[in-house]
Amino acid sequence: MSKLIVGPALTPDQEGVVLSVTPASAGWTYVGFQVVKLKEGETLRRDTGSQEVCLVLLSGRADVATKGAAWRGIGQRMSVFDKTPPYSVYVPNEDWYGVRALTDVEIAVCAAPGRGTHAARLIAPAQVGVETRGYGNLERLIHNILPEEEPADSLLVVEVFTPNGHWSSYPPHKHDRDDLPNESLLEETYYYHVEPKQGFALQRVYTDDRSLDETLVVRDGQTVLVPEGYHPVCAPPGYDVYYLNVMAGPTRTWKFHNDPDHAWLMAKPSE
């Protein structure tokens, strides 16, 4: 298996963690990502330390508390493929969070360096920006959970639904140079679900000089690391693909550069 793919554990650890990416394990600086699965009645409690955290309730319902606030009974979708925006909770560094599962829950723990600039808050579904991006078989559904227009110190969080037979993160684009205002340096993880589960997605990760050039077969529950390069995704016919993106870098802005060979695809054909 490619070093860019991180697979889930067969069973959760004592905290419920089934998948973990740290800056050390990924060989980068900013992004941390975990998937936690709790059974009904189970709990999780952690200090944030130097990291700000965005907890995304991928599925299920839970009570969530932090040092200064608490939210009871949040969560409404039982599967990411309900395609409704999720409940999420932003937690700053030097805080803590506690989760109590009211049903079986799957939680994405997105982390990056914090500066203590913002208070803990609930991100309700109504606060999530929903958009359709692309055209034809490039069309996909976007949920902007924590975009750069919303307060955070480092994190950018978004989820994407790619219908079967469609492409996303397309035309191929990259954000691996600290060259603002033209391009921002952002590390990125892709966490996948596939429906039906026996299916797969395809993702290519490649650089201009092809020193990195991989085509990945990604299955339900796996994560892809994007340390650099272009990174388009394909959902094969018959299989809908979901992924959650977590990005962070030295500057919290998303400025990308399209592969010049394919940038012409940005122009929608006249009807």
**What value does the mean pLDDT of the chain take?**
97
Is the pLDDT reported for residue 271 higher than 70? no
What pLDDT, on the 0 to 100 scale, is given for residue 270? 55
Is the pLDDT reported for residue 29 higher than 70? yes
Which residues are CB-neighbours of 171 under 8 A, at least 6 positions away? Answer: 138, 232, 258, 259, 262, 263, 265, 266
At 101-123, the pLDDT tens digits run 999 999 999 999 999 999 999 99
At 129-165, the pLDDT tens digits run 999 999 999 999 999 999 999 999 999 999 999 999 9
CA distance 23 to 237: 34
Is the pLDDT reported for residue 57 higher than 90? yes
Q: What percent of the chain has pLDDT over 90?
A: 97
What pLDDT, on the 0 to 100 scale, is given for residue 266? 86
What pLDDT, on the 0 to 100 scale, is given for residue 268? 72
- Say how many C-beta atoms besides its own lie within 10 A of residue 187's C-beta: 24
CA distance 256 to 244: 18
